[in-house]
Structure 1
Amino acid sequence: MTTEVPYRALPVDQSDVRYLHGPDSHRQPRVPVGRTVELDCTDSAVYPGTVRKFWIHLPARYDPAQPASLLVFLDGRWYLDPDGEVRASVVLDNLIDRGDLPATVGLFVDPGIRVGSDQPKNRNIEYDAYDDRLVTFLLTEIIPQVTQRYAISADPRRWGICGGSSGGNAAFTAAWLRPDRFQRVIGCLSSFTQMPGGNPYPRLIAGAPRKPLRIFLQAGHRDLHWNEPERNWLAENLRVAAALAQAGYDFRLVLGDGGHSPNHGGVLLPDALRWLWRPDTDPTPLTTRPQIR
């Protein structure tokens, strides 16, 4: 089937382009609003000395008899903000109500703060590292507080993780290291170039058996250092996308204009979720997979 895309002129000046949000990123009059609960994490074994907030967004159509999908958002406060660039809870409510997305619990997790430290922000330590600390933290300290309260499917095809900038490479790393849990990934303007030792993924993707991941990447033509030989955000995202293509992954890359801004990725979120959760060719129905309650 052919999809026809309306003509839209490309901007000549790419330095300051802003995308307009579609209807799925705005509250709709007849769509029921989900309930958001705020919680604190003050005693982490994986990241000792850190505190953080996280939020659980429960869709209005959640039914405990039908285990829900799970979608984790890193930098949770930014993604939850209904007036921000991403508006993820609004998007979830609209897509679930329309049936474009199964009932999905949104888990919004902030990076840690080191209390009393001269450098309190733990974000880059958590998000840029190539190790399993972040995904272990999510799986052992945060997600159990969701599964204890709500019925969540155990099918990893129904677990997703999303992040932008350093959160984008963190989401990729979490799924790469634990594809037995996360198989749907969104990375926007990912800061692969900031990873200690450099971006490992072109080499890792080429050298490892293909993992059961579905990956949505967004990159910007005028991202940081876009025309420089070192620390080039655009180039490193393209290198990862090329490696995924050569390895035969189920992935999608969307290039936009503008700089290092969450605007374009936020506008794309509804389409990214529809694409990630589209039916696959696995003949085993999702409803027959194991479930967590």
Structure 2
Amino acid sequence: MNYLFRLTLLSTLLVCNATLFAQDKQTLPEDSKYHDGVPKGEIIGPIKWESKIFPGTVRDYWLYVPEQYNKEKPACLFIAQDGLNRAKGWHIPEILDNLIHKNEVPVQIGIFISPGVVPAANSNAQARFNRSFEYDALGDRYARFLIEEIIPEVKKSYNISDDPNDRAIAGASSGAICAFTAAWERPDQFRRVLSTIGTYVGLRGGDAYPVLIRKHEPKPLRVFLSDGRNDLNLYGGEWFVANQAMLSALEFSGYEVEHRWGDGGHNSKHAVQIMPDAMRWLWKNYPEPIQAGTTENRRTDLLIPNENWEAVSSGHRFTEGPVANDMGELFFTDIPNGSIHKISADGTVSTFAENSPGVNGLMFGPDGKLYACQNGNKQIVRYTMSGEMEAVCKGVESNDLVVLHDGSGYFTDPNNKKVWRFSPDGKTSVVDTGIERPNGVIVSPDQTLLTVSDTAGRFTYSFQIQPDGKLAHKQAYGHLHLPDSTGNSGADGMTVDTEGRLYVTTRQGLQVLDQPGRVHLIIDKPQDGWLSNVVFGGKNFDTLYVTCGDKVFKRRVKATGVQPWKAPVKPPKPRL
């Protein structure tokens, strides 16, 4: 090696080392430093916690309590994953001290919480580290852990606001997707999300978020994203690309979202530089409430601004079988009570029929009578509008049914994995077997295609109705989204509109599919509970009615429903 080459190499190494040193010794933003005259908050902890939602785990958490905290006034809340080390690495205590002092963020209690660990069984064993399980997973488990365990425990000593607009949640890497998931699942509890180097990749399903954000009814969330171009690129995906996909999806769906991209890798260097600004943006214009996004940019634009679910009947045990008559008045069942109820045009709820054991699905027929699956008596019955009942099909198990314009119909028999046809005179025949749990059943507006939902699977099944009423060309056609906690969709009742769109009640919400079987929109459930069925009703048949748990809800949308027992309606050709 000659002298000149060695000198050049030495110079290059010195420059590289100086650059690396400079990166490690970046100048802190002024609001990330302690300043004389600024009241300092107190750090309390570590506090040990043993979880019931995550059995066997132990963890520590710490509290930040600003000097300005007043127990007579509910404080806002800021939760950071990965404990005090993450919070100190971001300089959160100093930032909150400074920004609260300058009235740039509200007074807030900080909870800095570590992931759980199941301690090793013995000295020769390894502990079970819960971080990925808790942080990377979708679903509401971690949100419930915070809502049911940690926050109530802290509230024993501190006055924390219950308003979701007053709560922020933050994290880095897996902690970031954890923070987003908690708010996504429970916007009734958290509405401000700070995400740095977020792991929105295929570790435990997080790569699904950009699609879900584009399809779901928008939620009232404010989201700050940051990442660097040299972040990880591993088996689960490329972090920077995934964060850009998150930004694109949030913007598409009208969310309030901000981002800061840098050139860094999977570390906190970039986050440290932008953290004071991120915190200001997270709380900007407080206490103005955070608004939900919009569906106006979507191909399927059904939702009307400020039109939300409204309860129209409550106090039941389990509601099912909604159907509307020609005037748009609603009939529905309460299965455990064996009763059928009616909601009149003026909103009055009355009992239409009692002593109807196990009554489930309802449908009107072309004869003007109300058909019902009376499974407790192993029969399908029909009622006149004066309440007189007669049996149509005897000795059959049934769950849901549809009646066509010629008086024939189909019903599902989930316990025996069968789909049946019945003729106008009540004769029955099996037309399909093998769907794991056939449940809801509906026809296309032109009455040539029959759709059956499978509660135990992720598809709806499509059949072509033959001239003799038999079914042909069975296909697992409609592709539904599944919650992370189960492998089945919980698909139940269905309805259709004049555009040929299919509305399916599922665990994930009310999923709206186009004619080719693709989910375009997922409308949130109105409450926790089983979303059992859906139908169009109201004067103009532009109001969705759903049965969910112990209540019935309605919501007006930009669509018009179809009544299967009337003349067929040809829908427009879909966009393929």
User: Residue 187 of structure 1 aligns with which residue?
Assistant: 195
Q: Distance in 2 between matches of 1:208 and 1:195?
A: 22
Q: Distance in 1 between matches of 2:55 and 2:44?
A: 24
Match 2:212 to one of 176, 194, 204: 204
Which aligned pairs between 1:1-293 and structure 2 lie closer than 5 A?
19-81=26-88, 84=89, 86-116=90-120, 118-225=126-233, 231-279=237-285, 282=288
> Is 148-157 or 183-192 further displaced after alignment?
148-157
Following TM superposition, by how much is the alpha carbon of 1:46 offset from its aligned partner in structure 2, in angstroms? 0.7
Q: Distance in 1 between matches of 2:209 and 2:37?
A: 44
Contact 2:66/2:108 (8 A) holds in 1: yes
User: Residue 352 of structure 2 aligns with which residue?
Assistant: none
Contact 1:128/1:194 (8 A) holds in 2: no
Q: More strand per residue: 1 or 2?
A: 2
Following TM superposition, by how much is the alpha carbon of 1:197 offset from its aligned partner in structure 2, in angstroms? 3.5
TM-score, normalization by structure 1: 0.85
User: Residue 522 of structure 2 aligns with which residue?
Assistant: none
Letter in 1 for 2:175: G
Q: Distance in 1 between matches of 2:184 and 2:206?
A: 16
> Is 54-63 or 112-121 further displaced after alignment?
112-121
Following TM superposition, by how much is the alpha carbon of 1:67 offset from its aligned partner in structure 2, in angstroms? 1.3
Unpaired runs of at least 5, structure 2:
1-18, 291-576
Contact 1:73/1:163 (8 A) holds in 2: yes
Give the 3-state SS of the residue equivalent to 2:99 in structure 1.
Answer: helix
Q: Distance in 1 between matches of 2:166 and 2:71?
A: 16
Letter in 2 for 1:96: I
Give the 3-state SS of the residue equivalent to 1:237 in structure 2.
Answer: helix
Contact 1:189/1:260 (8 A) holds in 2: yes
Give the 3-state SS of the residue equivalent to 1:154 in structure 2.
Answer: coil
Contact 1:221/1:257 (8 A) holds in 2: yes
Contact 1:95/1:101 (8 A) holds in 2: yes
Q: Distance in 1 between matches of 2:34 and 2:288?
A: 34
Deviations 1:103-134 (A, max 9, x none): 11111001111101524321111100012111
Contact 1:31/1:93 (8 A) holds in 2: yes
Contact 2:199/2:206 (8 A) holds in 1: no
CA separation of 1:253 and 1:41: change in aligned 2, threshold 3 A: same
Contact 1:190/1:219 (8 A) holds in 2: yes
Following TM superposition, by how much is the alpha carbon of 1:200 offset from its aligned partner in structure 2, in angstroms? 1.2
Following TM superposition, by how much is the alpha carbon of 1:146 offset from its aligned partner in structure 2, in angstroms? 1.6
Deviations 1:123-165 (A, max 9, x none): 1111000121111111111111221111111211110000000
CA separation of 1:281 and 1:24: change in aligned 2, threshold 3 A: closer
Unpaired runs of at least 5, structure 1:
1-14, 285-293
Contact 1:40/1:51 (8 A) holds in 2: no
Deviations 1:3-30 (A, max 9, x none): xxxxxxxxxxxx9656532011111111
Letter in 1 for 2:140: D
Letter in 1 for 2:187: P
Give the 3-state SS of the residue equivalent to 1:223 in structure 2.
Answer: coil
Letter in 1 for 2:258: R
Q: Distance in 2 between matches of 1:80 and 1:270?
A: 13
> Is 165-174 or 16-25 further displaced after alignment?
16-25
Instruction: State, as a whole percentage, how many aligned pairs show the same letter.
Output: 38
Q: Distance in 1 between matches of 2:219 and 2:189?
A: 12
Letter in 2 for 1:71: F
Q: Distance in 2 between matches of 1:103 and 1:89?
A: 12
Q: Distance in 1 between matches of 2:103 and 2:176?
A: 27
Contact 1:130/1:195 (8 A) holds in 2: no
> Is 238-247 or 61-70 further displaced after alignment?
61-70
Aligned length: 265
TM-score, normalization by structure 2: 0.44
Following TM superposition, by how much is the alpha carbon of 1:209 offset from its aligned partner in structure 2, in angstroms? 1.0
Deviations 1:245-271 (A, max 9, x none): 111100001101111111111222211
Following TM superposition, by how much is the alpha carbon of 1:77 offset from its aligned partner in structure 2, in angstroms? 2.1
Following TM superposition, by how much is the alpha carbon of 1:66 offset from its aligned partner in structure 2, in angstroms? 2.0
Letter in 1 for 2:96: L
CA separation of 1:138 and 1:283: change in aligned 2, threshold 3 A: closer
Give the 3-state SS of the residue equivalent to 1:31 in structure 2.
Answer: coil
Greater C-alpha radius of gyration? 2
Letter in 2 for 1:103: V
